[in-house]
Amino acid sequence: MYETQAQWGEQQVPQDELFRSFAVEQGLDMSAFDAAYTDPATLARIEADVADGIALGVQGTPTFFLNGTKIEPTTYGDLADALDAALG
């Protein structure tokens, strides 16, 4: 998803067909995908996740939390080091 973020990120219009094309490319069961995509429970889950993110100070993706603490690695090495230290 990060590789294609320029195609869909920060858009002010729904990108339903684009996301559906990603699902097709991945070989997903499209009947199941369509059912989940249009299920009101999916929207409720997204809204709950957005509210959680706002409450935690998330302002974009990716945002990383490690052991309940927000971390801000600037390189893959920073992230790997933080994970290694936590596993320590």
Burial classification of residue 51, based on how many CB atoms lie within 10 Å of its CB (0-12 exposed, 13-18 middle, 19 or more buried): exposed
Confidence category of residue 75, pLDDT binned at 50, 70, 90: very high
Q: pLDDT tens across 10-69, in order?
A: 888 889 999 999 999 999 999 999 999 999 999 999 999 999 999 998 988 789 999 999
Please give the Cα distance from 84 to 88 (Å, whole number).
Answer: 6
